[in-house]
Structure 1
């Protein structure tokens, strides 16, 4: 028999029903109870999330603090050919490194190689950003505590600069200005600036010394000189330590085969002669194009000072160690010996073992006949001397990497 009478032992608030001796909770009341349980669970989860995100409970990133005995270096363009080799050297020397690169010329694969070599927390971080974006540059400096900047990031092909000069003035000059402004704003005390012998133009007298008059003849050299002028003017009223390294034609790769030069295919026409030689040796191109055979040189081709990338990054580390507050150091980085393009091609043929087909073409706009350095000053003041001066051996090392990396790093340089 159904009994719907409420008993005295059942409080009014429970609003239960008795059916055949069994009690049932009112469905409306059950819904309120379940809702409260879910609400309590949601509030608990929210509290946990807020606690985890609380700055007071989370340790700061090692890149966002200054630690005694640890030098944190920002390497702009650190995914590029020279920048990646410099990063490798810095990490080997126990520096903390942040790479900033927009990957327009660099390789994400190079960054991944470095991350695999140095996976320990607080050693290396990569930030994808464009140094032409003022807000991005400011944010990078705001969120990280840098002790020094090695500024490599730049487009760097003479031929391309004559075709698209505005790109070069913006990328080199304007971007350097933004980096310098943020360094000043956030108290970063040391700048190692990657400059070039192209700022000298075509001097009447060889070899080039640091006080040789700068008369650049192409937009690349002009943009680099403008950036140097900005740095000079700023330094007059600053205690920042500045080192400007004007280096010559870079070749070679990491002797242990971890990194190499992987130029973008669409830029082969403007790239370094070493890359062009290797492309011809591998059959990627039908042959090597040598531009200009009527220069006033012994064999009619341009003469250059070829500096191995391993020596070059060694100069950067020595410059970082020797930089002094309130002073600007200027150094040529080269071997002190000029080699003609024909000599270079012959060395490349021997290094690769391939009889590369050579096409001789008219001069390239913006080129100069003869450029090589006098490295006496950097030897005297920074105790630096080029060690890898055998042209053929440097090319052999680079060729070994090229053969084992037929598709470069095998990773698209984009995110």
Structure 2
């Protein structure tokens, strides 16, 4: 055909053959084109039919509608240590759960475990989002029918919050924005979308260093570190919101959390860069595993029996139970504030001894000067929560709680990576 176009001296027969070839090819192309249109139409019709017959696509998501007898709980920070344990308990209690987490402190591995345990449709969904993004938070509330919010999301290390007093911009971003401002964002979304129940995860750090022990809910709040101050500000905002609404509010101020899921499904897996600011149990386990050369105890000159700080250690299983009982007792227009602790103080030296027994490792201990922002003695009076919510701590043996956590740590030395065989 190219020769024909370029060479007009070709015989007519040649031209006829060429033209005949063009006619044939054009017909073939037209036929193929029509066939493709018909095939596309058939496939489109088939897709439409499949979509219409698909329950997941033809009907709204179960998370987007209220269902009688089913409580849909938004768990902020649900990929974190405490939040994931709370989500596990709520799922076991047949609640519908949406977890929102930006994974800055949480772990996607915990979400994977929860999904494996509860794979049924409409039980659990995970949304990756930052609570500081008001637009994203509002969209989440608009697309989901929440009945209640359990607000765990926060940065929660006293030592980290006082790391560098000269860098207040860092402290504001990490603590006041993350805790206080983000709580305001959640409250505004709750108000805009008529979500009436809030269970707020607070802390004994809001009390600071009281003159009298044990701490009751009437003990004056005078926090001495940015973490405690940010939490108190968030509490104040919540209380102001509740005064002008019929919101049901439960504020739980809990003490030092230890332990892990007794069945070994979940545990605590802090990021490497945060280990030095984390809980003392994590440091004890790291020392027992040889991740760090030994344990550093900060402060031996406090006015206590053995010179080390005294804390009220609450097992995470008991803590989660308190949240569940608070959810069950929450009433419109009412505010409940409760200390969640054992009512018994244990010194850091006692804790280290219990950790040595739980792990079976003679951990090397180095005693150092005090850490900024710490206080000498803090333990709770849990009589109010016992009286009003019928809650009492059940796991009060330090060694047993630490053994439970140690089993998970020892078999998950890579955190939520591949589990390892337990050492003999």
TM-score w.r.t. the length of structure 1 is 0.91
Q: What is the root-mean-square deviation in Å for CA atoms of aligned residues?
A: 2.0
1:160 corresponds to: 160
2:413 corresponds to: 406
Does the alignment pair 1:79 with 2:85?
no
Which secondary structure does the structure 2 equivalent of 1:354 belong to?
A: coil
Distance 1:399 1:28 in 2: 76
Does the alignment pair 1:106 with 2:106?
yes
Match of 1:27 among 19, 25, 28: 25
The Cα shift of 1:107 comes to 1.0
1:256-271 matches, within 5 Å, as 256-271=263-278
Distance 2:343 2:309 in 1: 16
The Cα shift of 1:32 comes to 2.5
Distance 2:219 2:79 in 1: 32
2:143 corresponds to: 143
1:8 corresponds to: none
The Cα shift of 1:26 comes to 4.3
2:39 corresponds to: 41
1:353 corresponds to: 360
1:189-228 matches, within 5 Å, as 189-228=196-235
1:131 corresponds to: 131
CA contact (8 A) 1:241 1:324 kept: yes
Distance 1:349 1:336 in 2: 23
Distance 1:26 1:407 in 2: 68
2:309 corresponds to: 302
Distance 1:182 1:40 in 2: 49
Equivalent pairs, count: 391
Deviations 1:333-356 (A, max 9, x none): 000000010110011111111111
Deviations 1:80-104 (A, max 9, x none): 1001110110011000111111111
CA contact (8 A) 1:52 1:58 kept: no
The Cα shift of 1:135 comes to 1.5
Deviations 1:321-380 (A, max 9, x none): 000001111000000000010110011111111111111111101111110000000000
2:13 corresponds to: none
Match of 2:325 among 318, 336, 341: 318
Which secondary structure does the structure 2 equivalent of 1:31 belong to?
A: helix
1:330-409 matches, within 5 Å, as 330-409=337-416
The Cα shift of 1:129 comes to 1.0
Larger helix fraction of residues: 2
Which secondary structure does the structure 2 equivalent of 1:269 belong to?
A: helix
Distance 1:203 1:135 in 2: 40
Deviations 1:56-108 (A, max 9, x none): 97111111111111100011111110011101100110001111111111111
Distance 1:334 1:195 in 2: 13
Distance 1:145 1:178 in 2: 17
Could you tell me which runs of 5 or more consecutive residues in structure 1 were left unpaired when the two chains were aligned. Answer: 1-18
1:13 corresponds to: none
CA contact (8 A) 1:132 1:171 kept: yes
Deviations 1:155-198 (A, max 9, x none): 00001111242110010011111111111111111100000000
The Cα shift of 1:142 comes to 1.1
Could you tell me which runs of 5 or more consecutive residues in structure 2 were left unpaired when the two chains were aligned. Answer: 1-16, 164-169, 419-424
Distance 1:358 1:27 in 2: 87
Distance 1:60 1:135 in 2: 22
CA contact (8 A) 1:100 1:126 kept: yes
2:191 corresponds to: 184
Distance 1:304 1:258 in 2: 27
